[in-house]
């Protein structure tokens, strides 16, 4: 299982296929092999992550988590999948039947697409586009309309509201996410994700270790948690008021598709964050590069699970206030700080680290105070609001 | 390799569809949707026709075509938000989104 | 060969999405048809190697404007609108105009000499340079336009602030 | 190395097929006995009243509106970010002006309470 295991496996498989087919098929075969590999990776990761999350949250809550199917319950996701597939497909009357089928089927497409832009290891990026960064953001932006349609199709009040809320939340967090990526683009001078990783290898430090990078990373990571609608940002599917949000009326595998989109999307975002700020596949020489990226991404995913085990859910108004009134101005300030960092040639010296870091920290606390003030103001009793 | 003209044909068809929708539909949002189709067709034309010139630095050829398409998309965004706000405003007073009813300025 | 297949599929998506957008009685489906069409056009941009523009198209048009329209539909849609409300009285005129315009354009295109220059990739860097060196004034003017559109739209959409229906 | 566009195309087809097969599979494997009570929309057991496909809050539109404007402006920063080190200090100041205009719009949206959840 060395560094080049997957690359040589792919070329061997391609050689076998080319023995049967004309040589002009070479690009096609290569594309199919890469696609198959990523297609296998995504659902398998999702299965592992569901098991990991249930096990970890179980430990946080002083339980065992799944422990019946297989050693440590590792085959629990398989059993769940078989159960899901046998569930009756219930479409409520008055629903848009076509959309009820299409929305869960297509919601996995953008979530899976995010994987092919991320470099899994050295020379291991499925689609090495010059503008991969933007395509990643585009793929994550495309899931908002699909989730609105998923909520709209069953003609249920809870799911319509859940879908609209989910989209409002995803839109709100997309802006600071894009702006924190701009900071990385400024530092690298390229929109290709592999170029970002290679630039960090060349510089010898990860972007998260620079003052602007630390803040951009925190903003970016919070935004990915919110984009994936995970706790503490899971208001669109809050059980206590919206039943299950946009997937209330979906049963069996349709529900599993929404779930899969959420998990694969958040893991792809973890891999993306690890590539942008944590050096991607750069790491100790004795480990294969693809393993290093997975370790970093799993660590980030563990932080997401940690959030879920620790932090209570935000209220919708707090959640949107956090995006619009805190993360957005903060990300603009990070952009300005990044520009200043490069123009004032502050690459060297300990003072060059401390001053930007201190001023950004000051801005962070200042904005926090403003946000806290907003929260307190929102808690004052006002005239009764209509729900929604 | 397909030349720019194949793309221009698709753009022309899309533009024709947009014109039909903008003139024929009654729902204000449907008319707006048709206008978006027309704008996209124009953006597609910008990109396809700019391929007749080589890509190089500066405001020429393909770069100019794409830069204009980006401006077009941004202006389309500005147009949409204002138009939809007007539709909401009218809907609030007239309780309908049908363009035939928006005739209170006629007399 | 794959380029021709991709072109065929993408233009099919684009035009089918356009037909749904223009013709569907169900406004929500019309908005989704628009989205399909916009993504198809983004694919056509990608086929012509305009990567940055394709990403912008997906992010702003399909991810922003189409979502805006979907929200508008969710705010305005009333189920069971009568059939005669879908198309106005102008249908024949509209069909004629649309056919004539696209027919004229296509006739013009077919008469023009086909040049077969392969699509060259335009690096996003070139676009940035053009924005900063040549299109600086339009660039800033555009941000003012967006600002005024934001202000106007917010004031108009909120109304007097008393009746948020 | 393989052609990235081809990978995107093939992978999109694969992913869509994966989704469609998964959604249509219950048609074959799962039982299906629709019933009047079962097909009713879920409203926590209360009799269904009103139609969700109707007027919802204008607040959702206001969020989307602010989003579109800020999204367009943030996308304009990407090409600038690519070239900003060659563009020098003047380019940086130009973008600071751009950012200031952006923040002006943002502050206005805050002022008219377009970013509140009420």
Q: Write the ipTM.
A: 0.89
Q: Is residue C109 part of a domain?
A: no
Q: Is residue C10 part of a domain?
A: yes
Q: Do residue C77 and residue D54 have CB atoms under 8 angstroms apart?
A: yes
Q: Residue A381 is encoded by which pair of tokens?
A: 């009793």
**With contacts defined as CB-CB under 8 Å, which chain B residues touch C101?**
12, 15-16, 19
Q: Is residue C105 part of a domain?
A: no
pLDDT digits (tens, 9 = 90+) for A144-186: 888 888 888 888 888 888 888 888 888 889 999 999 999 999 9
pLDDT > 50? residue B38: yes
Residues 6+ apart with CB under 8 A from A184: A133, A196, A207, A213, A216, A276, A277
Q: Is residue B82 part of a domain?
A: yes
pLDDT > 90? residue A218: yes
* Residue of chain D whose alpha carbon sits nearest to that of B75: D72
Nearest to C154, CA basis, from A148, D110, A166: D110
Mean pLDDT computed over C94-114: 81
Give me the pLDDT at residue C165, please. Answer: 44
| CATH number reported for the structural domain that contains residue B46 in this entry | 1.10.287.3510
Count of domains in chain C? Answer: 2
Q: Do residue A142 and residue C56 have CB atoms under 8 angstroms apart?
A: no
Q: Is residue C110 part of a domain?
A: no
Q: Do residue C140 and residue D101 have CB atoms under 8 angstroms apart?
A: yes
Integer angstrom CA distances of residue A67 from A74, A147, B12 = 8, 33, 61
pLDDT > 80? residue B34: yes
> Best interface-test mutation with C: which of B46, B57, B70 has the largest number of C CBs within 10 A?
B70
A218 or A72, greater pLDDT? A218
- Confidence band for C51, pLDDT divided at 50, 70 and 90: confident
Mean pLDDT computed over A194-199: 90
Mean pLDDT computed over B68-80: 91
**With contacts defined as CB-CB under 8 Å, which chain C residues touch D61?**
68, 71-72, 75, 157
Q: Do residue D72 and residue B88 have CB atoms under 8 angstroms apart?
A: no
Mean pLDDT computed over C21-26: 86
pLDDT > 60? residue A347: no
Q: Residue B53 is encoded by which pair of tokens?
A: 């010139």
Q: Identify which of C132, C149, C164 has the shortest CB distance to residue D80.
A: C132
pLDDT digits (tens, 9 = 90+) for A273-320: 999 999 888 888 888 888 889 999 999 999 999 988 888 888 888 888
Residue C34 distance to chain B (closest CA, Å): 7
Give me the pLDDT at residue C11, please. Answer: 92
Give Dmax over CA atoms of chain D in angstroms: 70
Chains D and A touch, contact meaning at least 3 pairs of CB atoms under 8 angstroms apart: yes
Strands (E), chain A: none
| Chains linked to C by 3 or more Cβ pairs within 8 Å | A, B, D
Q: Which of C80, C95, C111 is the last residue of a domain?
A: C80
* Residue of chain B whose alpha carbon sits nearest to that of C29: B30
Q: Is residue B107 part of a domain?
A: no
Considering chain A, what is the average pLDDT of its residues? 84
pLDDT > 90? residue B37: yes
Q: Is residue C137 part of a domain?
A: yes
Same domain, C67 and C128: no
- Confidence band for A382, pLDDT divided at 50, 70 and 90: low
Integer angstrom CA distances of residue A168 from A172, A192, B72 = 6, 29, 25
pTM of this prediction?
0.91
Contact A279, A201 (CB under 8 A): yes
Count of domains in chain B? Answer: 1
Q: Is residue C112 part of a domain?
A: no
- Confidence band for B35, pLDDT divided at 50, 70 and 90: very high
Q: List the domain range (segments joined by +) for residue B82.
A: 4-101
Q: Is residue C59 part of a domain?
A: yes
Question: Is CATH 1.20.58.1610 correct for D4-111?
Answer: yes
Q: List the domain range (segments joined by +) for residue C19.
A: 1-80
Q: Is residue C118 part of a domain?
A: no
Q: Is residue B106 part of a domain?
A: no
Which residues 86-145 of chain C have a CB within 8 Å of chain D? 124-125, 127-129, 131-132, 136, 139-140, 142-144
Q: Residue A300 is encoded by which pair of tokens?
A: 């980030």
Contact A227, A323 (CB under 8 A): no
Per-residue pLDDT of chain D (118 residues; tens, 9 = 90+): 467 888 888 899 999 999 899 888 888 887 777 777 777 777 766 666 667 776 677 788 888 889 999 999 888 889 888 888 887 788 888 888 888 998 998 999 888 877 777 6
Give me the pLDDT at residue C118, please. Answer: 60
Which residues 39-98 of chain B have a CB within 8 Å of chain C? 40-41, 43-44, 47-48, 51-52, 54-59, 62-64, 66-67, 69-71, 73-82, 84-89, 91-92, 97-98
Tell whether A180 is within 8 A of chain D (Cβ). no
């Amino acid at each position: 299982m060395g560094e080049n295991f997957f690359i040589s496996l792919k070329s061997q498989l391609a050689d076998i296929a080319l023995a049967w087919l004309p040589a002009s098929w070479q690009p096609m075969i290569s594309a199919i092999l890469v696609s198959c590999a990523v297609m296998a990776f995504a659902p398998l990761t999702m299965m592992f992550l569901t098991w990991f999350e249930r096990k970890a949250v179980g430990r946080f809550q002083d339980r065992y988590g799944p422990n019946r199917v297989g050693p440590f319950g590792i085959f629990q996701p398989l059993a769940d999948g078989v159960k899901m597939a046998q569930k009756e497909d219930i479409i409520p009357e008055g629903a848009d039947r076509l959309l009820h089928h299409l929305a869960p089927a297509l919601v996995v497409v953008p979530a899976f697409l995010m994987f092919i832009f991320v470099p899994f290891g050295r020379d291991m990026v499925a689609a090495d586009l010059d503008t991969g960064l933007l395509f990643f953001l585009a793929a994550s932006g495309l899931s908002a309309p699909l989730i609105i349609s998923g909520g709209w199709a069953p003609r249920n009040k809870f799911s319509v509201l859940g879908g609209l809320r989910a989209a409002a939340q995803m839109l709100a967090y997309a802006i600071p996410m894009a702006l924190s990526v701009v900071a990385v683009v400024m530092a690298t001078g390229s929109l290709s994700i592999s170029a970002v990783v290679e630039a960090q290898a060349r510089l010898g430090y990860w972007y998260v270790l620079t003052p602007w990078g630390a803040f951009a990373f925190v903003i970016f990571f919070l935004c990915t948690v919110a984009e994936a609608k995970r706790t503490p940002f899971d208001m669109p599917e809050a059980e206590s008021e919206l039943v299950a949000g946009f997937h209330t009326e979906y049963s069996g595998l349709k529900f599993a598709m929404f779930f899969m989109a959420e998990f694969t999307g958040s893991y792809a975002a973890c891999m993306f964050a690890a590539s942008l700020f944590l050096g991607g596949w750069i790491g100790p020489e004795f480990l294969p590069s693809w393993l290093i990226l997975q370790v970093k991404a799993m660590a980030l995913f563990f932080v997401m699970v940690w959030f879920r085990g620790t932090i209570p859910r935000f209220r919708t108004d707090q959640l949107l206030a956090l995006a619009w009134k805190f993360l957005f101005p903060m990300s603009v300030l990070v952009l300005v700080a990044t520009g200043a960092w490069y123009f004032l040639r502050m690459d060297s010296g300990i003072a060059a680290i401390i001053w930007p870091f201190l001023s950004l920290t000051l801005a962070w606390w200042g904005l926090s105070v403003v946000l806290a003030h907003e929260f307190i103001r929102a808690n004052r009793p006002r005239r009764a609001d209509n729900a929604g | 390799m397909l030349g720019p003209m194949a793309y221009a044909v698709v753009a022309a068809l899309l533009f024709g569809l947009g014109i039909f929708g903008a003139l024929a539909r009654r729902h204000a949002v449907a008319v707006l949707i048709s206008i978006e189709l027309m704008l996209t067709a124009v953006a597609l034309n910008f990109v396809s026709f700019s391929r007749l010139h080589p890509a190089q630095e500066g405001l020429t050829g393909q770069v100019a075509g794409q830069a204009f398409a980006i401006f077009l998309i941004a202006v389309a965004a500005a147009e949409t938000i204002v138009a939809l706000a007007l539709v909401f405003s009218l809907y609030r007073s007239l309780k309908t989104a049908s363009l035939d009813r928006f005739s209170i300025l006629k007399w | 060969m794959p380029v021709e297949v991709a072109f065929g599929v993408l233009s099919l998506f684009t035009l089918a999405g356009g037909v749904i957008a223009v013709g569907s009685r169900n406004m929500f489906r019309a908005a989704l048809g628009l989205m399909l069409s916009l993504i198809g056009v983004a694919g056509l941009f990608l086929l012509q190697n305009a990567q940055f523009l394709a990403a912008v198209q997906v992010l702003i048009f399909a991810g922003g404007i189409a979502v805006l329209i979907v929200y508008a539909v969710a705010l305005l849609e009333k189920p069971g609108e009568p059939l005669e409300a879908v198309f106005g009285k102008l249908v024949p005129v509209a069909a004629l105009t649309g056919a004539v315009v696209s027919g004229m354009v296509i006739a013009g295109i077919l008469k023009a000499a086909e040049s077969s220059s392969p699509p060259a990739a335009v690096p996003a860097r070139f676009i940035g340079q053009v924005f900063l060196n040549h299109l600086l004034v339009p660039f800033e003017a555009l941000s003012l336009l967006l600002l005024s559109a934001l202000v106007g739209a917010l004031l108009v959409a909120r109304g007097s602030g008393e009746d948020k229906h | 190395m393989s052609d990235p566009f081809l990978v995107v195309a093939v992978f999109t087809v694969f992913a869509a097929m994966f989704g469609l097969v998964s959604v249509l599979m219950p048609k074959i494997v799962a039982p299906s006995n629709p019933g009047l009570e079962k097909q009713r929309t879920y409203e926590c057991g209360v009799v269904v009243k009103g139609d969700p496909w109707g007027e919802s809050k204008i607040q959702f539109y206001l969020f989307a509106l602010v989003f579109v404007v800020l999204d367009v402006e943030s996308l304009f920063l990407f090409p600038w970010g690519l070239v900003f080190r060659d563009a020098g200090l003047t380019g940086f100041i130009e973008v600071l002006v751009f950012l200031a205009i952006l923040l002006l719009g943002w502050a206005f949206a805050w002022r008219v309470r377009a970013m509140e959840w009420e």
